[in-house]
């Protein structure tokens, strides 16, 4: 779509790939970024492997405006996201002075080598820190690095979300009381004509008043209205239930 910022999401963790933990972070980021006008183009789920992390993050970084990673950030043996990103971009893993000060202030006499591991970031990283954060948001180039614990990730994103705001998407939904096959040819013709509008068609089961939802979305409200009006005009009488 025109004028869109693009993003890729990388979920990191053996626990996701093995089914021990359900991924909810990608869904949260998808919803938030869409509201902000950012178009997510790919989600990848990868293991806690330094080489794979480095390769995937480097590829995403060159392909999208923003890359959001979740997982593999912490003091334990399987927290290798920082090392992976450093490896992928060919930079050193270094101790960040400001993060070190934050951790010493928080842990005081309880500081140890495992805690200090969390000061290590790819050389050239930036941090975004607010007083009500337990730990800063770390970014490297266009890669924003989040922890895997959903509460931590969501709290951090909420504090920096406005940095990613761009022109919004305009969305309309058509509720139809017919089978999808009955309107497929009509819809396909409108889709072909309005290439800058993203259409979706979703059969719905178990609803008494509608059987299909058609969505249309674009950053031009004028174009959206034009496309929707044309689609409605071409629908057979009695098919349209409502428009939202």
pLDDT tens per residue across span 79-96 = 999 999 999 999 999 999
Residues 147 and 204 in one domain: no
Confidence at residue 110, expressed as pLDDT on a 0 to 100 scale: 85
Residues 76 and 126 in one domain: yes
Q: Which of 137, 164, 191 is the last residue in one of the domains? A: 164
Confidence at residue 209, expressed as pLDDT on a 0 to 100 scale: 96
Domain limits for position 146: 5-164
Q: Which of 164, 198, 222 is the last residue in one of the domains? A: 164
Predicted confidence (pLDDT) at residue 155 exceeds the cutoff of 60: yes
Q: Which phi and psi (to 5°) does residue 112 adopt?
A: -150, 180
Q: Which residues pair with 214 in a beta bridge?
A: 174, 201
Q: How confident is the model at residue 2 (pLDDT cuts 50, 70, 90)?
A: low
Residues 215 and 159 in one domain: no
Decide the pairing of beta strands 93-95 and 120-122: antiparallel
DSSP string, 46-63: E-S-HHHHHHHHHHHHHH
Residues 178 and 234 in one domain: yes
Average pLDDT over residues 193-208: 96
Q: Which helix (H) or strand (E) holds 240?
A: strand 240-243
Question: In this structure, what CATH number is given to the domain that contains residue 202?
Answer: 3.30.70.1030
Question: In this structure, what CATH number is given to the domain that contains residue 134?
Answer: 3.40.980.10
Q: How confident is the model at residue 206 (pLDDT cuts 50, 70, 90)?
A: very high
Give the SS3 label for residue 142: coil
Look at the chain and report how many structural domains it folds into: 2
| pLDDT, tens digit (0-9, with 9 covering 90-100), for 7-52 | 999 999 999 999 999 999 999 999 999 999 999 999 999 999 999 9
Q: Where are the beta strands (DSSP E) in 85-142?
A: 93-95, 120-122, 126-128, 137-140
Residues 116 and 224 in one domain: no
Average pLDDT over residues 174-202: 97
Confidence at residue 3, expressed as pLDDT on a 0 to 100 scale: 65
Q: Which of 105, 137, 164 is the last residue in one of the domains? A: 164
- Tally of CB atoms within 10 A around 114: 12
CA distance 201 to 190: 13
Residues 91 and 17 in one domain: yes
Confidence at residue 96, expressed as pLDDT on a 0 to 100 scale: 95
Residues 44 and 154 in one domain: yes
CB 186 within 8 A of CB 234: yes
Q: How confident is the model at residue 134 (pLDDT cuts 50, 70, 90)?
A: confident
Residues 59 and 157 in one domain: yes
CB 223 within 8 A of CB 194: yes
Confidence at residue 109, expressed as pLDDT on a 0 to 100 scale: 83
Confidence at residue 66, expressed as pLDDT on a 0 to 100 scale: 98
Residues 118 and 187 in one domain: no
Residues 12 and 101 in one domain: yes
Q: Which of 75-89 are b and which e, b meaning 16 or more Cβ less than 10 Å from the residue's Cβ?
A: eeeebbbbbbbbbbb
Residues 136 and 24 in one domain: yes
| pLDDT, tens digit (0-9, with 9 covering 90-100), for 50-69 | 999 999 999 999 999 999 99
Residues 183 and 158 in one domain: no
Judged by average pLDDT, the poorest of 6-15, 72-81, 129-138, 140-149 is 129-138
CA distance 204 to 145: 37
Confidence at residue 131, expressed as pLDDT on a 0 to 100 scale: 77
């Amino acid at each position: 779509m025109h004028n869109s910022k693009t993003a890729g999401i990388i979920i990191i963790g053996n626990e996701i790939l093995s089914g021990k933990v359900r991924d909810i972070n990608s869904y949260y980021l998808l919803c938030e970024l869409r509201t902000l006008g950012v178009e997510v183009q790919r989600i990848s789920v990868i293991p806690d492997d330094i080489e794979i992390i480095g390769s995937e993050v480097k590829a995403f970084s060159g392909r999208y405006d923003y890359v959001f990673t979740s997982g593999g950030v912490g003091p334990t043996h399987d927290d290798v996201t920082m090392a992976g990103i450093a490896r992928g971009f060919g930079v050193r893993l270094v101790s960040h002075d400001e993060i070190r000060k934050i951790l010493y202030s928080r842990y005081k006499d309880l500081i140890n080598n495992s805690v200090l591991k969390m000061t290590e970031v790819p050389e050239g990283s930036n941090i975004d820190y607010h007083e009500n954060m337990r730990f800063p948001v770390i970014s490297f180039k266009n890669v924003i690095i989040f922890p895997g614990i959903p509460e931590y990730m969501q709290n951090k994103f909420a504090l920096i979300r406005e940095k990613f705001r761009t022109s919004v998407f305009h969305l309309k939904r058509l509720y139809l009381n017919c089978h999808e096959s009955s309107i497929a040819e009509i819809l396909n013709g409108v889709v072909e004509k309005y290439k800058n509008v993203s259409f979706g068609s979703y059969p719905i089961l178990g609803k008494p008043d509608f059987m299909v939802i058609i969505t249309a979305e674009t950053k031009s409200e004028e174009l959206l209205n034009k496309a929707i009006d044309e689609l409605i005009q071409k629908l057979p009488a009695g098919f349209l239930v409502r428009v939202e």
